């Protein structure tokens, strides 16, 4: 599976089309069941194994790994929702890769609406809630059969609801052209008086609903795993580029040691070790590392690396993704301090 994903990686960006072949490979390999309990046909991976899987997937294909994180975010909400009818209807099929789900929840945290009110209003009605608004970032909505969306009630509490994409009030807009990962087909969706009953509520209403039963969230270890998996690929390419330059072997050795150190820190945090770095410390260093590697690869490749379509050019664009995806303000500040050569960044 990983070999296929890596060999298809270069074809994703020019077309920007949904990666059908890649998703089929993930389904065949049972990857969609990683976070689904065994009772519903999943493999129910523990955190360290899940992080290792993300490292390997991002090494092969960052777009596929990113899509999987959005799928797993929705799955996690379904697994912890407590509504057995909803779980029985969807989780076995999702584990087998027969259907796809994703999330529209970023507006509740880092990408909240800048307007006068919440991005999505959840108005209480006799049978449940009526949802209306616009969600700016939803990955793979056009391929999904179910989307877990977030809304805010009039009293400021938040809820999450599972909405089938066949609902006439749900409109999927065209995906946005990104600097990288355009094939993830991420873009806005609109909700026009979408009615959800109590059986569709997967969490809340509650303050900060995303913290309920969460294994991830903004700045979680998952984002760092994808950054370090991407770095693996770039480091290997840089090593190949510089194999005829003996004077740079010490630099490569240092970069390799840093990769090993960061992956060790990531997995230690995933195991919950008492002296492990925090998720934000790991993310700050992972962002820095994947960016410096991409810059080094471009410098080593010289002019050919500056041509659109070269792996070094793609590495630069993909590294930038980690500065905008689920990136806590403290990490943004730390990375900016590093750019300003300010020691406080560390």
CATH number at residue 226: 1.20.140.10
Of 322, 318, 315, 321, the closest CA to residue 298 belongs to 315
Same domain, 19 and 109: no
Residue 218: pLDDT band by 50, 70, 90 thresholds? very low
Q: Which two tokens stand for residue 73?
A: 């975010």
> Measured between alpha carbons, how far is 126 from 22 in angstroms, rounded to an integer?
43
Same domain, 107 and 172: yes
> What integer pLDDT is reported at residue 217 of this predicted model?
45
Q: How far is CA 83 from CA 38, 159, 162, in A?
A: 17, 14, 11
> What integer pLDDT is reported at residue 111 of this predicted model?
47
Residue 29: pLDDT band by 50, 70, 90 thresholds? very high
> What integer pLDDT is reported at residue 345 of this predicted model?
47
Give the number of other Cβ atoms within 10 Å of residue 37's Cβ. Answer: 14
Using CA atoms in the order 238, 242, 247, 251, what is the torsion angle rounded to 10 degrees?
10
User: For the ranges 13-22, 25-34, 140-149, which has the lowest average pLDDT?
Assistant: 13-22
Has residue 75 got a pLDDT over 90? yes
Same domain, 161 and 60: no
Q: Which two tokens stand for residue 342?
A: 């300010």
CATH of the domain at 13: 1.10.540.10
How far is Cα of residue 53 from the mean position of the Cα atoms in its chain? 13
Has residue 186 got a pLDDT over 70? yes
Using CA atoms in the order 1, 38, 58, 47, what is the torsion angle rounded to 10 degrees?
-140
Same domain, 82 and 188: no
Has residue 27 got a pLDDT over 90? yes
Q: Is residue 85 part of a domain?
A: yes
Of 36, 13, 54, the closest CA to residue 181 belongs to 13
- Residue after which a domain boundary falls, among 190, 211, 232: 211
Q: Is residue 171 part of a domain?
A: yes
> What integer pLDDT is reported at residue 110 of this predicted model?
55
Has residue 57 got a pLDDT over 80? yes
- Residue after which a domain boundary falls, among 193, 211, 229: 211
Average pLDDT, the chain: 91
Has residue 260 got a pLDDT over 70? yes
Same domain, 231 and 339: yes
Q: What is the mean pLDDT of residues 121-138?
A: 94
Buried b / exposed e along 210-244 (16+ C-beta atoms within 10 A): bebebebbbbbbbbbbbbbbbbbbbbebbbebbee
> Measured between alpha carbons, how far is 118 from 106 in angstroms, rounded to an integer?
12
CATH of the domain at 141: 2.40.110.10
Same domain, 85 and 105: no
Same domain, 66 and 147: no
Has residue 234 got a pLDDT over 60? yes
The residue to which tokens 């991409």 are assigned: 294
Q: How far is CA 108 from CA 58, 120, 161, 170, 234, in A?
A: 26, 9, 13, 18, 33
Residue 327: pLDDT band by 50, 70, 90 thresholds? confident
Same domain, 274 and 313: yes
Share of the chain above pLDDT 90, in %: 75
64 contacts 19 by C-beta, under 8 angstroms: yes
Same domain, 63 and 179: no
Has residue 316 got a pLDDT over 80? yes
Has residue 193 got a pLDDT over 90? yes
Has residue 18 got a pLDDT over 70? yes
Same domain, 189 and 295: no
Q: Is residue 216 part of a domain?
A: no
Has residue 179 got a pLDDT over 70? yes
pLDDT tens-digit profile of 91-100?
A: 999 999 999 9
Q: Is residue 123 part of a domain?
A: yes
Q: Is residue 125 part of a domain?
A: yes
Question: Against a cut of 0.85, is the pTM above it?
Answer: yes
Which structural domain, as residue segments, surrounds residue 169? 101-211
Domain count for the chain, please give it. 3
Same domain, 61 and 44: yes
Has residue 12 got a pLDDT over 60? yes
3-state secondary structure of 129: strand
Q: What is the DSSP letter of 327?
A: -
Share of the chain above pLDDT 70, in %: 95
Q: Is residue 241 part of a domain?
A: yes
- Residue after which a domain boundary falls, among 211, 239, 255: 211
Give the number of other Cβ atoms within 10 Å of residue 109's Cβ. Answer: 17
Same domain, 117 and 8: no
């Amino acid at each position: 599976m990983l070999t296929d994903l890596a060999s298809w990686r270069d074809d994703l960006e020019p077309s920007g089309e949904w990666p059908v072949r890649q998703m089929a490979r993930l389904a065949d390999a049972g990857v969609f069941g990683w976070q689904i309990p065994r009772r519903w046909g999943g493999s129910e991976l523990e955190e360290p194994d899940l992080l290792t899987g993300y490292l390997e997937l991002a090494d092969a294909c960052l777009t596929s790994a990113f899509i999987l994180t959005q799928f797993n975010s929705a799955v996690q909400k379904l697994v912890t929702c407590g509504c057995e009818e909803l779980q029985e209807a969807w989780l076995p099929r999702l584990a087998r890769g027969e259907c796809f789900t994703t999330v529209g929840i970023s507006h509740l945290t880092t990408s909240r609406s800048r307007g006068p009110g919440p991005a999505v209003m959840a108005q209480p009605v006799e049978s449940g809630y009526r949802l209306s608004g616009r969600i700016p970032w939803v990955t793979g909505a056009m391929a999904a059969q179910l989307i877990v969306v977030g809304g805010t009630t009039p009293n400021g509490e938040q809820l999450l609801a599972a909405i089938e994409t066949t609902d006439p009030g749900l409109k999927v807009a065209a995906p946005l052209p990104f600097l990288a990962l355009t094939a993830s087909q991420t873009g806005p969706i609109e909700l026009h008086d979408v009615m959800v009953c109590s059986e569709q509520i997967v969490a809340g209403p509650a303050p900060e609903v995303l913290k309920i039963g969460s294994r991830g969230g903004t700045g979680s270890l998952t984002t760092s795993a994808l950054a370090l998996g991407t770095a693996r690929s770039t480091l290997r390419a840089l090593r190949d580029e510089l194999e005829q330059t003996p004077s740079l072997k010490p630099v490569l050795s240092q970069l390799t040691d840093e990769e090993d150190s960061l992956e060790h820190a990531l997995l230690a945090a995933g195991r919950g070790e008492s002296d492990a770095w925090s998720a934000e410390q790991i993310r700050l260093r992972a962002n820095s590392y994947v960016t410096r590697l991409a810059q080094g690869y471009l410098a080593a490749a010289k002019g050919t690396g500056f041509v659109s379509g070269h792996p070094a050019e793609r590495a630069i664009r993909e590294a930038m993704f980690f500065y905008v995806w689920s990136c806590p303000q403290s990490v943004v500040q730390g990375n900016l301090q590093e750019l300003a050569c300010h020691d406080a960044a560390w």
